[in-house]
Amino acid sequence: MFIYRLLITLLSPFILGHVIWLALRNKDSRYFWQRLGFEYSSLPKESLWFHCASVGEVNTLLPLLKNIHKKNDQLKIIITTNTITGGKIVAQQKLDYLYHSYLPFDWSYAIHFFITAAKPASLYIMETEIWPNLFAGCSTKKIPLHIINARLSTRTTASNKWVLSLLKTSLSKVDAIYARSTDNALAYQQLGAPADIIKTTGNLKFTTAIHSDQVLQEIDIPRDREYVLLASTHHDEEKQIYTLWSQLNRRELLVIAPRHPERSSSIVKQLENKNIAIRSKNQPITDKTEIFLLDTVGELKNYFTRSKLVIMGGSFVPVGGHNILEPAGFNKAIVTGPYMENFKEELKLMLDKDAIIQIDSIDKLKDKLSQLLDGENNRTTLEKNTEKLTSNIEQVLEDYTNLILK
Are residues 399 and 347 part of one domain? Answer: no
Does residue 214 surpass a pLDDT of 70?
no
In this prediction, what percent of the chain has a pLDDT beyond 90? 80
Question: pLDDT tens digit string along 67-81?
Answer: 999 999 999 999 999
| 210-214, 258-262, 358-362: the lowest-pLDDT one | 210-214
Separation of alpha carbons 372 and 335, rounded Å: 10
| 141-145, 179-183, 313-317: the lowest-pLDDT one | 179-183
State how far the alpha carbon of 29 is from the alpha carbons of 26, 66, 102, in Å: 9, 29, 11
Residue 391 — pLDDT band, cuts 50, 70, 90? low
Question: pLDDT tens digit string along 156-174?
Answer: 888 888 999 999 999 999 9
Return the CATH number at 103: 3.40.50.11720
Residue 231 — pLDDT band, cuts 50, 70, 90? very high
Q: Residue range 329-341: average pLDDT?
A: 94
Residue 302 — pLDDT band, cuts 50, 70, 90? very high
Q: Note whether residue 13 is domain-resident.
A: no
What is the tally of structural domains in the chain?
2
pLDDT at residue number 213? 58
Are residues 115 and 208 part of one domain? Answer: yes
C-alpha torsion 183→184→188→189, nearest 10? -30
- Reduced to 3 states (helix: H, G, I; strand: E, B; else coil), residue 237 is helix
Does residue 185 surpass a pLDDT of 70?
yes
CA nearest 47: which of 112, 113, 100?
100
Question: pLDDT tens digit string along 216-227?
Answer: 888 989 999 999
What residues make up the domain containing 240?
Answer: 227-390
pLDDT at residue number 19? 95
Does residue 155 surpass a pLDDT of 90?
no
Are residues 400 and 383 part of one domain? Answer: no
State how far the alpha carbon of 234 is from the alpha carbons of 127, 302, 314, 315, in Å: 23, 20, 6, 9
Are residues 289 and 170 part of one domain? Answer: no
Q: Note whether residue 124 is domain-resident.
A: yes
- Reduced to 3 states (helix: H, G, I; strand: E, B; else coil), residue 2 is helix
Q: Note whether residue 7 is domain-resident.
A: no
Q: Note whether residue 3 is domain-resident.
A: no
Are residues 358 and 245 part of one domain? Answer: yes
Are residues 45 and 115 part of one domain? Answer: yes
Q: Note whether residue 274 is domain-resident.
A: yes
Does residue 266 surpass a pLDDT of 90?
yes
Q: Where are the beta strands (DSSP E) in 174-237?
A: 176-179, 198-200, 227-233
Q: Note whether residue 363 is domain-resident.
A: yes
Does residue 212 surpass a pLDDT of 60?
no
Are residues 380 and 249 part of one domain? Answer: yes
Question: pLDDT tens digit string along 55-70?
Answer: 989 989 999 999 999 9
Q: Note whether residue 1 is domain-resident.
A: no
Separation of alpha carbons 241 and 286, rounded Å: 22
Return the CATH number at 282: 3.40.50.2000
Are residues 252 and 142 part of one domain? Answer: no
The answer for 360, left when phi > 0, alpha when psi is -120 to 50, beta otherwise, is alpha
- Give the Cβ contact number of residue 83 at 10 Å: 19
Q: Residue range 271-276: average pLDDT?
A: 90
Does residue 228 surpass a pLDDT of 90?
yes
- What average pLDDT is seen over the chain? 93
pLDDT at residue number 303? 96
Q: Which helix (H) or strand (E) holds 84?
A: helix 84-93
Are residues 126 and 238 part of one domain? Answer: no
Question: pLDDT tens digit string along 83-123?
Answer: 999 999 999 999 999 999 999 999 999 999 999 999 999 99
Are residues 113 and 67 part of one domain? Answer: yes
pLDDT at residue number 21? 95
Q: Residue range 391-397: average pLDDT?
A: 81
Are residues 320 and 349 part of one domain? Answer: yes
Are residues 57 and 187 part of one domain? Answer: yes
Q: Note whether residue 357 is domain-resident.
A: yes
